[in-house]
Amino acid sequence: MPDVLNQDIQYLPGVGPRRKALLEKELGIRTYGDLLEYYPYKYVDRSRVYRIGELSADTQFVQVCAKILSFETFDAGRHRTRLVAHVTDGTGVADIVWFSGAKYMLEHLKVGVPYIIFGRPTVYGGRFQFAHPDIDPASELQLSQMGLQPYYVTTERMKKSGMTSRAVEKIVKTLLEGLKEPLAETLPPFITAPLNLMSRDEAFRKIHDPRRHDDITRAEYRLKFEELFYVQLNILRYASDRKRKFRGYVFKSVGAKFNDFYFNYLPFPLTGAQKRVIREIRHDMGSGRQMNRLLQGDVGSGKTLVALMSMLIALDNGFQACIMAPTEILAEQHLDTIASFLNGMDVRVELLTGMVKGKRRREVLEGLADGRVGILVGTHAVIEDSVQFARLGFVVIDEQHRFGVVQRAKLWSKSDVPPHVLVMTATPIPRTLAMTIYGDLDVSVIDELPPGRKPVVTLHKYDDQTVSLYSGVRRQVGAGRQAYFVFPLIKESEKIDLKNLEAGYESLCEVFPEFRLGKVHGRMKAAEKEEEMRRFVSGETQILVATTVIEVGVNVPNASIMVILNAERFGLSQLHQLRGRVGRGSDQAFCILVSKRKLTEDTRKRIDIMCDTNDGFKIAEADLKLRGPGDLEGTQQSGMAFDLKIANVAKDGQLVQLARDEASKIIDDDPACSKSEYSMLWQRLKALRKNLPYFGEIS
């Protein structure tokens, strides 16, 4: 039955054109397969029927079997009617109340007929009452077979049209009962048997109509594994294809420039992690395959130094290198850092941003075209058509989620053979998420900080404790250091937040009249913003009042205090990124999280985690668990929206690894995707590819 799940949902009994349109618009359900993949979000035990006489004030969700004695209607104002049905089962009387839909209920419910009523009873007027319960004729429900009832997420528009969770449950059961033949299998026995996975057909039936909790557990395991397996198979197939098809420049030697820098110019000894990563990069660049590597490292871990030494290997082999950053201020800081490292060496390093114009721009472009410029540091400006390299062999992309796929591809096209690619991020990515988002990349991690760096001390203050907070800031700035004050700026309420920032800036000017203050926010013109940042970087401004525009890349070693106001409105990764703006010098740095006193449990957890650890990877794992993968910093900007139907990379880490291991075995044995024993997998993958959540085509 290969095509049954592609059938139009409209032709399923109980759906029709109107409901099909509603399901498609609200939930994206168009076919039988879409409906089966719309999984319940919870289950409630319906195996027991209570007596009304057994109910108590602390009773949770229950079901009773009772007859309707009579109806009463009450005027609820504004043309609304409250409907009350009085019911009995012989052991007591209870009420059912509806605050809307009275007309529908009066048309469909009959006095004297027994109904199964399911809901949460409350006491009102001395009698138990069920508000808007599930209600079904007892004759339609086989009580002896009722077990765990599935619940489905529905929208307000669906509920108003009578398309409740119960209605979804009924059409799913209609579909399953109508499937007389088992659904076609999508995983071969050599995978399902060793892993003891139930069949696909059984999994769909058990997930929607379980009798026992074990049914749910085993069905979820099978369906999650399959979903993750095909995601990983797709990623690994792509990576395998790329490695087979894209030959890379072979950088055979580590030559004079690298060795001169390492022995004569290296400002401090490399950490063990930096040495390990450089060895991994050297191996890739000499392998004959194009390198495609992700370099993760916390703020201040020394990623730029690793990138520079890798670029010197490219120069030693007669090639040019380029580093692309998302903002002009970050590009300029990379230039300053690289130029200071190379000071005295015969390596020409140039900057190309929108601010580089006229004669200076022409000189840079000529130097790139004739090969005299060895390293180019720039922004989006480097991908313009006028920028031509003599021999581009190595590309570094910093904070790559700020660049679109098309922008990245333009950079690769500037070389006849795709250059080696090093993608850097200061946002630590949990391992299971990295396997899914960046699954086609080899991953290197710098998990040590350079010696001498002091961990930032993080403190939590409430917004009624500002006197002591301001006193601490005054001492630090008075001693010659600098401080950030960060206000939230969230799209839904930009006007309110901007007003808060403006008011906060005015207030802080009054609090600190002896210091020079600046402000930066996203609505400023780029030139104004850059100028304010330059004034802070140079030390002309002592306190910078800002929004999260300073989150990535600002390097001011003299800044030792980060005050984050309304900290409850920030996610963990964002708080960690902001904290990373301080502690970049030798002085002790402080991050103060200021919040209101009334906090949710999740918010308190976030703040406690920030105060307890500076480890970005621990914070990223905690963030993944608290917020889920779809909300993680970076995933929305780069189009990496998760569309997994049942698996969750935050909670199913072991399954992600198992799925990847199984997919790796297939790719290793059949890299060309041509062996007949795997034909089921390749056909299924081809059918799925347009819907698979795949985010990683970095190059």
For the stretch 193-206, pLDDT in tens is 999 999 999 999 99
Question: For a pLDDT cut of 70, what percent of the chain falls above it?
Answer: 89
> Exposed e or buried b for every residue in 252-284, given b needs 16+ CB within 10 A?
eebeebbebbeeeeeeeebbebbebbbebbbeb
Q: What pLDDT score was predicted for residue 292?
A: 85
What is d(CA 411, CA 104) in angstroms, rounded to the nearest whole number?
A: 62
Element (H, E) at 619: helix 616-627
pLDDT tens-digit map of 442-499: 888 888 877 767 889 999 999 888 888 999 999 999 999 999 999 886 444 555 554 5
Q: SS3 for 423?
A: strand
What is d(CA 28, CA 647) in angstroms, rounded to the nearest whole number?
A: 18
Taking residues 279-284, report their average pLDDT. Answer: 94
Instruction: Show the tokens assigned to 623.
Output: 């963030």
Instruction: Show the tokens assigned to 254.
Output: 């580590």
Looking at residue 117, its amino acid is I
Taking residues 6-32, report their average pLDDT. Answer: 92
The owner of tokens 């679109």 is 404
- Show Cβ contacts of residue 380 under 8 Å, excluding neighbours closer than 6 positions: 324, 354, 403, 407
Q: SS3 for 455?
A: coil
- Show Cβ contacts of residue 502 under 8 Å, excluding neighbours closer than 6 positions: none
Report the half-sphere exposure of 145 (CA within 13 A, side-chain side): 6
Taking residues 102-131, report their average pLDDT. Answer: 89
Report the half-sphere exposure of 675 (CA within 13 A, side-chain side): 9
Q: What pLDDT score was predicted for residue 146?
A: 65
| Phi, then psi, of 683 in degrees rounded to 5 | -65, -45
Maximum Cα interatomic distance, the chain, rounded to a whole number of Å: 97
Residues recorded for the chain = 699
Q: Torsion-angle region of residue 422: left (phi > 0), alpha (psi -120 to 50) or beta?
A: beta
Q: How confident is the model at residue 35 (pLDDT cuts 50, 70, 90)?
A: very high
Please say whether the beta carbons of 455 and 560 come within 8 A: no
Please say whether the beta carbons of 6 and 114 come within 8 A: no
Q: Nearest to residue 15, comparing CAs of 179, 167, 160?
A: 167
Q: Nearest to residue 398, comparing CAs of 305, 311, 303?
A: 303
Q: What pLDDT score was predicted for residue 75?
A: 83
Range with the poorest average pLDDT among 360-374, 430-444, 584-598: 430-444
Please say whether the beta carbons of 234 and 694 come within 8 A: yes
Neighbours of 451 (CB within 10 A): 8
Looking at residue 80, its amino acid is R
Range with the poorest average pLDDT among 77-81, 319-323, 490-494, 604-608: 490-494
Q: What pLDDT score was predicted for residue 491?
A: 43
**Per-residue CA distances from 394 to 327, 364, 375, 411, 534 (Å):** 20, 18, 10, 11, 29
Burial class (CB in 10 A: 0-12, 13-18, 19+), 13: exposed
Looking at residue 67, its amino acid is K
pLDDT tens-digit map of 494-545: 555 545 778 888 899 999 999 999 988 877 787 788 788 889 988 999 999 9
Report the half-sphere exposure of 319 (CA within 13 A, side-chain side): 27
Q: Nearest to residue 482, comparing CAs of 432, 556, 377, 551?
A: 556
What is d(CA 240, CA 448) in angstroms, rounded to the nearest whole number?
A: 31
Taking residues 625-639, report their average pLDDT. Answer: 47
What is d(CA 89, CA 51) in angstroms, rounded to the nearest whole number?
A: 7
Q: Nearest to residue 115, comparing CAs of 71, 160, 162?
A: 71
Instruction: Report the Cα–Cα distance between both ends of the chain, in Å, rounded.
Output: 39
DSSP H stretches of helix in 246-399: 256-260, 272-285, 303-316, 328-341, 358-370
Element (H, E) at 116: strand 114-119
Beta bridge partners of 414: none
pLDDT tens-digit map of 283-339: 999 988 888 888 988 777 888 999 999 999 999 999 999 999 888 878 888 898 899
Burial class (CB in 10 A: 0-12, 13-18, 19+), 567: buried
pLDDT at 143 over 60: no
pLDDT tens-digit map of 232-272: 898 888 888 877 777 788 998 898 999 999 999 998 889 99
**Per-residue CA distances from 596 to 335, 466, 546, 568, 574 (Å):** 41, 12, 20, 8, 18
pLDDT at 686 over 80: yes
Beta strand 62-77 pairing with 114-119: antiparallel
Task: Give the DSSP letter of residue 153.
Answer: -
Range with the poorest average pLDDT among 5-9, 107-111, 636-640: 636-640
Q: SS3 for 4?
A: helix
Burial class (CB in 10 A: 0-12, 13-18, 19+), 569: middle
pLDDT at 552 over 80: no
Q: What pLDDT score was predicted for residue 290?
A: 86
Q: Nearest to residue 257, comparing CAs of 353, 394, 381, 152?
A: 394
Most confident of 1-5, 94-98, 415-419: 94-98
pLDDT tens-digit map of 360-397: 999 999 999 999 999 999 988 888 888 899 999 999 98
Q: Nearest to residue 178, comparing CAs of 30, 67, 341, 35?
A: 35
Q: Nearest to residue 579, comparing CAs of 677, 460, 685?
A: 460
Taking residues 198-219, report their average pLDDT. Answer: 94
Q: What pLDDT score was predicted for residue 638?
A: 34
Please say whether the beta carbons of 175 and 169 come within 8 A: no
Task: Give the DSSP letter of residue 402.
Answer: G
Report the half-sphere exposure of 388 (CA within 13 A, side-chain side): 8
Instruction: Show the tokens assigned to 116.
Output: 């199964």
